[in-house]
Amino acid sequence: MIVFLVAMVIGLGITAPLVANPGGPPVEFTADFTSVEGGKTTAGQYLFGNPGVRMEGSEGGTSFITMFVRSTNKIISLIPEHRMSIEIPFDPENLAFLSAGSDTPTACGVPGEATLLGRETLHGRAVEKWRCVPKDGTAMTEPMTVWYDTRLQSHIRIERDNGGRFELTNIQERRVDPGLFEIPAGYSSPFGGMGGMFGGGGGGTPQPPPG
């Protein structure tokens, strides 16, 4: 479940809000999310705040919370039923292609060919529609079409050619409590740090999930 959520976020290319953006600080907001990947549908709440991105939902009767925290460069997953936490170091260099000065448009989120198809209104938001074709050799290889909100600096909809899909609805601009990006007291981490995953150090050469 946890690996699936991480793969969904990175593999679908919705990591743009996690790095410095030439458009300035993005706007905090909450939304409902739906993701379809590999025939599996996951839904829940998506919160974007100054510390990073938090996703909440349930799968197979088990609740989950996955956070991408910029200040610590960590992915934190919480399983409330078991009061368990898992921390995965994330190397921000893996997202360097999204930073200011990069040749990669932030809307696409992966190095490769990017074509602006036009501008539309989606769920009441003004968005740009892009066609993104990753270059050979990148971890995320599947071409996709994305709808990108330049004010929120976030993807509102992503459709991959292999059927993968991610969408935000019920978007509300509002402040998000930074305390939601901390591990609650009383949570244990039975597996320890997963340092080799996503470039956090240790455990050999890290690789992001396949696209």
Q: Is 209 within a domain?
A: no
Q: Is 205 within a domain?
A: no
Q: Is 168 within a domain?
A: yes
CATH of the domain at 106: 2.50.20.10
Mean pLDDT of the chain: 76
pLDDT at 37: 80
- In the chain, the number of structural domains is 1
pLDDT at 174: 96
State the average pLDDT over residues 198-203. Answer: 42
State the average pLDDT over residues 132-148. Answer: 80
Per-residue pLDDT of 68-87, as tens digits, reads 888 788 888 898 888 999 98
Global pTM? 0.77
Per-residue pLDDT of 101-135, as tens digits, reads 445 556 887 778 889 999 999 999 999 999 989 88
What is the extent of the structural domain holding 96? Answer: 2-199
3-class DSSP string for the chain? CHHHHHHHHHHCCCCHHHCCCCCCCCCCEEEEEEEEECCEEEEEEEEEECCEEEEEEEECCEEEEEEEECCCCEEEEEEHHHCEEEEEECCHHHHHHHCCCCCCCCCCCCCEEEEEEEEEEECCEEEEEEEEEECCCCCCCCCEEEEEECCCCEEEEEEECCCCEEEEEEEEECCCCHHHHCCCCCCECCCCCCCCHHHCCCCCCCCCCCC
pLDDT of 197 > 50? The answer is: no
Q: Is 206 within a domain?
A: no
Q: Is 16 within a domain?
A: yes
Per-residue pLDDT of 18-69, as tens digits, reads 554 555 666 899 999 998 888 888 889 999 888 888 999 877 777 889 888 8
